[in-house]
Amino acid sequence: MSKKDKKEEIKEEVEATEPTTEESVKEVAEETSENKELQEALERAEDFENKYLRAHAEIQNIQRRANEERQSLQRYRSQDLAKAILPSLDNLERALAVEGLTDDVKKGLEMVQESLIQALKEEGVEEVELENFDPNLHMAVQTLDADDDHPADSIAQVLQKGYQLHERLLRPAMVVVYN
């Protein structure tokens, strides 16, 4: 039974018993002090019952909201740190693109890169998809004319990778797009 049903049911019950009480009191003693006391006590009981039912409903609301907030904090907890380490990933990519790296250095850089990507992945951070241009995920910094081989909205080049944390965008991919 929902809380609202319960509340209404008890309210109806109180309303249903009140007239009967009034009648029987009137029969025995018209407007005695006991009658007044009884009315006050019944009102007081109803008042606190309603307060209690409201407080009870409030408890469930507070717990539900706290639970939702906790889940959201958990889900996006790594957002700031993840965002802050994306430039390190960019720098690593640039360093790896330098000509004439020794194998040792290249291996070292790749290890750092892979472990960063893995750490981010475990927290739910991944590169945004690049199949077709999507203004929600990509920023077009340049456009090229579309032709038969390159349909409109296909991506010509990625200038900087984009990342998202679960479904939340951390930064868009910077792309060149056919238009």
Whole-angstrom Cα distance, residue 44 to residue 133? 66
Q: What is the C-alpha to C-alpha distance for residues 65 and 172, in angstroms, rounded to an integer? A: 31
Residue 84 found at the interface with a second copy (CB under 8 A): yes
Among 8, 32, 141, 152, binds a second copy (CB under 8 A): 32
Smallest CA-to-CA distance from 130 within 179, 159, 173, 86 is with 173
> 39-68: string of b/e by CB count within 10 Å (b at 16+)?
eeeeeeeeeeeeeebeeeeeeeeeeeeeee
Q: Which stretch binds a second copy (CB under 8 A): 1-9, 18-26, 140-148, 154-162?
A: 18-26
The residues in 124-153 that bind a second copy, with binding defined as CB under 8 A, are none
CB 125 within 8 A of CB 133: no
Residue 68 CA to chain centroid, in angstroms?
7
Q: Which of 118, 131, 147, 149 binds a second copy (CB under 8 A)?
A: 118
Q: Which one of 6, 21, 129, 142 is in contact with a second copy (CB under 8 A)?
A: 21
CB of 12 to a second copy, least distance (A): 16
| Measured CA angle at 157 (ends 155, 159), to 5 deg | 125
Q: Does the footprint of a second copy cover residue 42 (CB under 8 A)?
A: yes
- Binding residues (CB under 8 A) for a second copy: these are 21, 24-25, 28-29, 32-35, 37-38, 41-42, 44-45, 48-49, 51-52, 55-56, 58-59, 62-63, 66, 69-70, 73-74, 77-78, 80-82, 84-85, 87-88, 91-92, 94-95, 98, 100-102, 104-105, 108-109, 111-112, 115-116, 118-120, 122-123
